[in-house]
Amino acid sequence: MERTSKLGFFVLLPLFFLASCHFSSVMAKRSNYVVHMDKSVMPKAFLSHHEWYSSILDSIQSTSFNTHIYTYDTVLHGFSALLTDQELEFLKKSPGFLTAYRDRPAEMHTTHTPDFLSLNPNSGLWPASNFGEDVIVGVIDSGVWPENPSFKDDGMTKIPSRWKGTCEAGQEFNSSLCNLKLIGARNFNKGFIAEHPNITIDMNSTRDTLGHGTHTSSTIGGNYVEGASFFGYAAGTARGIAPRARLAMYKVGSSQGVALSDILAGMDQAVADGVDIISISMAIPFSPPIYEDPISIGSFGAMEKGILVSSSAGNSGPGLGTLNNGFPWLMTVGAGNMDRWFGGTVTLGNGMDILGWSIYPVSTIVDDLPLIYNKTLSGCNSSVLLSAANGIVICDDPEMYYHGYIVSNSSVPGIIFFSDDSSMFDEGEFNFQGVAIPAKYKEAVLNYAVNDVKPTATIRFNQTFTGTKPAPAVADFSSRGPSPVYPNILKPDIFAPGALVLASWIPNAPIEAIGDRDFFSGFNILSGTSMSCPHASGIAALLKGAHPEWSPSAIRSAMMTTADTLDNTGKPIKDIGTNYNVASPLAMGAGHVNPNSALDPGLIYDATLQDYINLLCSMNLTHSQISSITRTTSYDCSSPSSDINYPSFIALYENGDTKMLSKTFKRTVTNVGNGAAKYQANVVAPKSSIIEISPSELSFQNRLETQVYYLTIKYQGDTNYTVSFGSLSWVEVGGKHNVKSPIVVSPVGFQNA
């Protein structure tokens, strides 16, 4: 952001007092602040808000260096600047000042998935959206490696004329590196530099040095790349979820860090440039209030412009209440596994074959070597002892994976250990020549190793298995709701593939180090809600292409009400973080996203800008706090309501309160089917609750007709104070649509639930 000046126009202070303030401010420590302003009170003497903000700063500061960092004008009205505590106090007296808060660091959350999601080139959402052609997705991330083949523009058409963005040149990044696929690239690091003035930026351009942004953006809309793999694992043709969508990268961080003010600048510019969807796989730690969180503020402004923001839920699961980005006006995405597994095969000398887990990157076979099991070696805690072993060692330690570096630093030919904890493999890192096999085989393997006269084994790596069950299941790392910033809206909204996802990578960052050898690849396998978010973003882009008239709320509604709640065994989706118990909506939201069903949801729950303002008005926020989000002081708070038209329901009760709770929700559904339709309510009530629906039948005569219904939760009390859940489905009579919404009853003290 920047600034301007017409000294003394708005700060009526004695000149001698200003002078003393100036002198002390030069000596005092400065911090970066994000400042929200009421743009409507800008004096007419100024030609622009940028000039006005600069004038304000000039009037309260006397310094030889420019402290103005960014000017915001799309998703936020205001600026960021380096200020002393004293200067901040003077700023607060300026006309138009709303609020200010310190800049904060942020954190980033990581191709078979199109097949797993049943995307088909001949039917469904892909052809209906022309594979996302001309939909523009703005990615807020760590940058991009434009030479990766995922960003080639083969088969792409002319850039839409509505695009206002640019390809910004910088260090090792020429503007000619953008093309018909990667149509925009901008770099935002002024806020981070302001907070760390002595730092040397490792790459002062949009070029990605972390790999995160390259991975997420290629997942969203990467072009077709034949022969992609991770050292032979997951081999095939890589492509993004929306392979004909346009990508614009807004780099807001690197391995050195991310600043709140830079995220705001990136989102502000993305909206101004004309993107259709924003994807952001990062969050502010410790969940600041919604009026100080840049993703909250930026996504509200984007929503107002008709842009859906898709965000990651975070990787702090499986505890409840750990979720990030739980704002009502964006889409919050959790993570799950898919039906693909990477591994190796252990063949014992007696002919027994056992499939296990491994992603050891070396293409090799550990062939017909002695199988060793003894107490001296079974702990596998000494690289010296392991190096002396001339065979495949059995490690009787279920935590072997977590100290695999001991094995990697030895010269042992191979390792076998036993584990059923699939979560340990979610990182996709495996730097030792070993394989984990299910614990059910332990007795047979040990019996053979101990009792056979000459036990041997062979290990074959670089194997990929599909069709594994159960899938999908919620990943244990995926953060859970309720949302700490606003628990009255059920979050996350949905979940999507986020475990062991193959996507593009940067070529100069080693993926794995084994001994003194580094391994590099143009593709990497990562896990995290950083990986699930771009899947949902890509699907949102496809829906925007198929239904350009749909609002952000309509797109999110279609994805939620058509989400799958059953896995590939036909049973309720499980939660890995709770030992494969049935997943709660606090873990999976409405379910696992189903792109083709979302194309034709039957009914949608839509919401307007005023609906979200009514929600803000019900939150006990101050005038300035609401204005910080809405970017205006003239918002209408005449009808405050916490009951927004959302496709899910959550009722909270005080932990320890056994009195009956009754809560009624009003919902409006819009018929987006082909014509007349009738729907009947089908309710699965949460435990200890009674659900009432009025009316229980909805009749529509025309497309785009709306109907209102009421849902009442009557919770009878439960001395266990646990989370209970059920669902409401509007089932089309004689038709195909089943419009499903989750229902949750949860203690307010969810950390004890």
Domains of the chain: 15-102 (3.30.70), 108-338+478-599 (3.40.50.200), 340-459 (3.50.30.30), 603-607+644-752 (2.60.40.2310)
310 is catalytic: no
Residue 278 has pLDDT above 60, yes or no: yes
SS3 for 277?
Answer: strand
> Strands 738-747, 724-732: parallel, antiparallel or unpaired by DSSP?
antiparallel
* Cβ contacts of 583 within 8 Å, gap of 6 or more: 473, 474, 572, 573, 574, 575
Q: Model confidence at 406, in pLDDT bands (50, 70, 90)? A: confident
Helices (H), 205-308: 212-221, 260-273, 294-304
Give the active site residue among 58, 134, 141, 293: 141
Residue 108 has pLDDT above 70, yes or no: no
Residue 659: predicted pLDDT: 66
Give the active site residue among 483, 530, 628, 746: 530
Q: Model's pTM, two decimal places? A: 0.88
Report whether 485 contacts 332 (CB < 8 A): no
Helix (H) or strand (E) holding 350: none
**Residues 470-488 pLDDT 10s:** 999 999 999 999 999 999 9
Most confident of 68-72, 523-527, 739-743: 739-743
Which range, of 24-33, 358-367, 565-574, 595-604, averages the lowest pLDDT? Answer: 24-33
C-alpha span between 309 and 280 (Å, rounded): 7
**Residues 36-57 pLDDT 10s:** 888 888 888 888 888 888 888 8
Give the amino acid at 403.
H
Using a pLDDT cut of 70, give the percent of the chain over it.
91
The single-letter DSSP state of residue 49 is H
Residue 515: predicted pLDDT: 66
Q: Is 274 left (phi over 0), alpha (psi -120 to 50) or beta?
A: left
Residue 468 has pLDDT above 60, yes or no: yes
Tokens of 456: 């041997």
85 is catalytic: no
Tokens of 483: 């949302």
Residue 174 has pLDDT above 80, yes or no: yes
Residue 744: predicted pLDDT: 96
212 is catalytic: yes
C-alpha span between 199 and 287 (Å, rounded): 27
Give the active site residue among 36, 49, 212, 737: 212
Mean pLDDT over residues 405-429, rounded? 79
Residue with tokens 């887990």: 357
Q: Model confidence at 21, in pLDDT bands (50, 70, 90)? A: very low
C-alpha span between 556 and 672 (Å, rounded): 14
SS3 for 208?
Answer: coil
Q: Model confidence at 65, in pLDDT bands (50, 70, 90)? A: low
Mean pLDDT over residues 670-677, rounded? 96
**Residues 629-653 pLDDT 10s:** 998 889 999 999 999 999 999 999 8
Residue 422 has pLDDT above 80, yes or no: no
Residue 14: predicted pLDDT: 26
Peptide bond into 548 cis (omega under 30): no
Q: Model confidence at 606, in pLDDT bands (50, 70, 90)? A: very high
Across the beta sheet with 97-102, the strand order is 68-72, 78-83, 31-37, 97-102
Report whether 247 contacts 535 (CB < 8 A): no
Residue 110 has pLDDT above 50, yes or no: no
Residue 17: predicted pLDDT: 24
Q: Model confidence at 175, in pLDDT bands (50, 70, 90)? A: very high
